Structure 1
Amino acid sequence: MKTTFKILSLLLITVFMATSCSKDDDPADNDLFIGKYEGTISFKDTNDKDKDVSSTEGSVTVTKVGDNYSFNFSNGIPTIKDISMKKGDNNTIMFSDNGIGTITVTASKLSIAFTRDGQAWLADCKR
């Protein structure tokens, strides 16, 4: 009986792990994407060239409040705030508020190419 219970427990844990780490996860559905990603980041501001940050090593910390996400950059790069996550292909966020671009996020990778109000953020990061 103990052996059967152990085998069933291991089977359930395996099934749970396989379904919780699915490639079909979407940022709109869960908090899997919250955390720190590290890699190459940059920033351009057409209104104030002094704020520009050339491509450099840094990090982006993803946070969530309600249904809105924020992307907090290191190296003095401004935060991208209040991004509403809508379901999209391959975890890509679609924008509607004065912004254009994409943010593709998985449990292990974050790619940002986003422009809003004369400012442009780029990131190619991994966890």
Structure 2
Amino acid sequence: MKNTVKVIGTLVLVSLMFMVSCDKDTDPSETDLFVGTYEGDISFNNGEETIIDEDGRVTVAKAGDSYSFLFGSGIPDITGVKFEKDGNTYVGIGEGFTGIRITASSLNMLVTDDRGTWTADCSR
């Protein structure tokens, strides 16, 4: 019985995540959720190597009150980002994160820290 409840609970959770990430008309100011995958130009430079992907992906995930940006293409992830609302756009707050702007349909990023520089010009 416990396994059945776990399976049903997992299916419900996955279904909810899928519906939220696929709804392109949902504005983040209405739901405070802009998790999902954005596609477009991404890059990373750490002073020794540069990674550029014109067909890149960035997956935004939420844990508690902070967000993570999970890059493909061998680009390091960015974690622990918090946002404040600016109209229908959310802007990253905190040292190094002010260059992140995200809406329900777009992600623009210019972040620099001691690990390197990330850029993203993506949409979904």
TM-score scaled by structure 1?
A: 0.68
Q: CA deviation at 1:121?
A: 0.6
Instruction: Read off the aligned partner of 1:39 and give its amino acid letter.
Output: G
**Could you say which structure has the larger radius of gyration?**
1
Match of 2:64 in 1: 66
Match of 1:37 in 2: 38
Where does structure 2 lack aligned partners over 5 or more consecutive residues? 1-24
Match of 1:116 in 2: 113
Q: CA deviation at 1:89?
A: 4.8
Task: Give a deviation string over 1:42-62, Cα, whole Å, max 9, x none.
Answer: 00112xx13x20353210000
Where does structure 1 lack aligned partners over 5 or more consecutive residues? 1-19
Match of 1:56 in 2: 54
Q: Matched residues in 1 for 2:76 and 2:122: separation?
A: 17
User: Quick check: which one's strand share is greater?
Assistant: 2
- Equivalenced residue count is 100
1:93 match: secondary structure:
strand
Q: CA deviation at 1:94?
A: 3.7
Question: Structure 1 pair 35/86, CA: closer, same or farther in 2 (3 Å)?
Answer: same
Task: Give a deviation string over 1:30-49, Cα, whole Å, max 9, x none.
Answer: 11x10001111000112xx1
State the identity %: 38
Q: CA deviation at 1:95?
A: 2.9
Q: Does 1:105 align with 2:109?
A: no
TM-score scaled by structure 2?
A: 0.69
Which of residues 94, 97, 113 is equivalent to 1:96?
A: 94
